[in-house]
Amino acid sequence: MKQEGFTFRPEYTHLSELQWLVPPGTSFGGLTATATKVEIEEIKKLLKMPPKHTRVIHLANDRPNIAFQVRQMKFAASSYKDLAFVIPKDVKADSPPLPFMVFTKSRSKRTRIGMGA
């Protein structure tokens, strides 16, 4: 796939090979939150998606139940102390915190955060 002129996840270019590993007529689904109409057409060609059997569904991305917060860090990034507000100290099993997401640059950091490190 291409993003901003650079190759994005080159292994994705091999996804079209999956059609040879599954029974004929098997449906595939793909999702993107950022691709333009031109990029979607490029993706369809790259993945050899037959126009006759390909459907593109566009949905609005307005999510009033989602809010973003950006906070200035007060502690060293490796301490993760600045994330303490996400799960209150008095949280109980019968009253879990609201769902949340933490974005990081690597999977290993997400794992450490999830493990409470």
pLDDT digits (tens, 9 = 90+) for 57-101: 988 878 888 888 888 999 998 888 888 888 888 888 888 888 888
Same domain, 66 and 48: no
Q: If pLDDT is split at 50, 70 and 90, which confidence band does 5 have? A: very low
The residue segments making up the domain with residue 115 are 62-117
Same domain, 20 and 48: yes
Report how many domains make up the chain.
2
Name the average pLDDT for the chain: 81
DSSP string, the chain: -EETTEE--GGGGGGGGGGGTS-TT-------SS--HHHHHHHHHHTT--GGG----------TT---------S-GGG-GGGGGGS-TT-BTTBPPPP-----SSHHHHHHHHTT-
